[in-house]
């Protein structure tokens, strides 16, 4: 742990774009050590004893919120969970005043999920705490990409030279953006596949290959990340019908039969079965997706520990 912390210099983790390959490797290596702690009888180490973490979720979450809370507890930090629906935001308090108020309690780390893209670059001015991005609008979800990369490395033993295919609502996906940045830093190729209305115009400079022809790119994929249709971010109608989406973009039995034998299918969750993936494939794909969720805990322990040792 100590040697990882000595190499780490960043106070915040706001995105994957600004993390170097070496920094990502530090997180993944430390997460490997931390994963074992959750398999012990006593699932706790004193790594961040005396530190205080506030989890601020202005958007709903299951995986990210619970795993950040458990991660904080397993490394012995004191943790407070803030949920916007039961807070004074409902009485008209602003997000900035909320951050300033919580800052008055001297937290060491704030883990924030928010629906405004890139808002955290502004909000960090109102606190001395380290900030970890738990998903900001359509911008980035850095710890999701880190846990995705951790899972791929765990199963495929490398992050280099892979064909990574991301399928689904690319336009609204912070997970896609973070994974494009992350996998490309290791020399893997990233293809994004979506209906034309869900492919962003400005992805030209991202280095990712854009396509709407899933059946053409599917057989070459080493890793496929299936994404949810984000109805909560779709102000207008982006799809004719879900039935057409399933026909052209879902992982069906037929498409599954055309994959490389060792192709790894991941999904950040939550999954809409029979939209992104047909439910008859559940027994084949869900175990790996749950392994991915499990790895989120270890990766979040690592990120909290690293920023927790670099606050001043």
Choose between 194 and 266: whose C-beta lies nearer to ligand CP.
266
Distance between CA atoms of 77 and 9, rounded to whole angstroms? 20
| Binding string, residues 117-156; x marks residues near ligand CP by CB under 6 A | ------------------x--------x------------
C-alpha 95/C-alpha 179 separation (Å) is 28
Q: Which is nearer to ligand CP, 135 or 142 (CB)?
A: 135
Q: Indicate the residue among 135 and 195 with the shorter CB distance to ligand CP.
A: 135
62 or 94: CB nearest ligand CP: 62
Residue closer to ligand CP (CB basis): 67 or 127: 67
**Which residues ranging from 259 to 288 are in contact with ligand CP (CB under 6 A)?**
268-270
* Alpha-carbon distance values, 137 to 174, 232, 286 (Å): 7, 11, 26
Residues 51-80 that bind ligand CP (CB under 6 A): 61-64
Cβ 274 to ligand CP shortest distance, Å: 19
Phi, psi of 272 (to 5 degrees): -100, 95
Please check whether residue 217 is in contact with residue 190, taking contact to mean a CB–CB distance below 8 angstroms. Answer: no
Sheet holding 130-136, edge to edge: 78-83, 52-57, 109-114, 130-136
CA angle 89, 84, 289 (to 5 degrees): 160
**Nearest approach, Cβ of 192 to ligand CP (angstroms)?**
17
Q: How far is CA 79 from CA 68, 95, 141, 273, in A?
A: 9, 20, 21, 33
Task: Report whether 298 contacts 150 (CB < 8 A).
Answer: yes
Are 124 and 70 within 8 A, CB to CB?
A: no
Number of residues that bind ligand CP (CB under 6 A): 9
Shortest distance in whole angstroms from residue 114 CB to ligand CP:
13
As measured in angstroms, the least distance from the Cβ of 270 to ligand CP is 6
The interface with ligand CP within residues 3-62 (CB under 6 A) comprises 61-62
Question: Which C-beta is closer to ligand CP: that of 148 or that of 222?
Answer: 148
Q: Nearest approach, Cβ of 243 to ligand CP (angstroms)?
A: 25
Interface contacts to ligand CP, rule CB under 6 A: 61-64, 135, 144, 268-270
């Amino acid at each position: 742990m100590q040697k990882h912390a000595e190499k780490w210099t960043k106070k915040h983790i706001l995105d994957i774009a600004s993390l170097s390959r070496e920094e990502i490797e530090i997180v993944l290596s430390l997460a490997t050590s931390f994963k074992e702690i959750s398999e012990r009888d006593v699932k706790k180490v004193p790594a961040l004893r005396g530190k205080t973490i506030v989890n601020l979720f202005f958007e709903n979450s299951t995986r990210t919120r619970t795993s950040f809370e458990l991660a904080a507890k397993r490394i012995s930090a004191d943790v407070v969970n803030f949920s916007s629906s039961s807070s004074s935001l409902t009485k008209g308090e602003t997000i900035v005043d909320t951050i300033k108020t919580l800052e008055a309690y001297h937290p060491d780390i704030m883990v924030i999920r928010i629906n405004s893209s890139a808002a955290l670059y502004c909000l960090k001015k109102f606190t001395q705490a380290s900030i970890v991005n738990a998903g900001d609008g359509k911008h980035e979800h850095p710890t999701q990409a880190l846990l995705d990369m951790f899972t791929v490395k765990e199963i495929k033993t490398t992050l280099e030279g892979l064909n990574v295919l991301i399928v689904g609502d690319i336009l609204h996906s912070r997970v896609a953006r973070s994974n494009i940045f992350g996998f490309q830093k290791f020399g893997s190729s990233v293809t994004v596949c979506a209906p034309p209305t869900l492919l962003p115009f400005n992805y030209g400079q991202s280095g990712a290959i854009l396509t709407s022809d899933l059946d053409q790119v599917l057989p070459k994929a080493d890793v496929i990340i299936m994404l949810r249709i984000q109805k909560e971010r779709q102000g207008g109608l982006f799809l004719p019908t879900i039935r057409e989406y399933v026909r052209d973009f879902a992982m069906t039995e037929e498409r599954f039969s055309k994959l490389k034998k060792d192709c790894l299918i991941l999904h950040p969750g939550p999954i809409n079965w029979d939209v992104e993936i047909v439910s008859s494939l559940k027994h084949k794909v869900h175990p790996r997706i749950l392994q991915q969720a499990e790895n989120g805990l270890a990766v979040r322990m690592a990120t909290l520990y690293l920023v927790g040792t670099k606050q001043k």
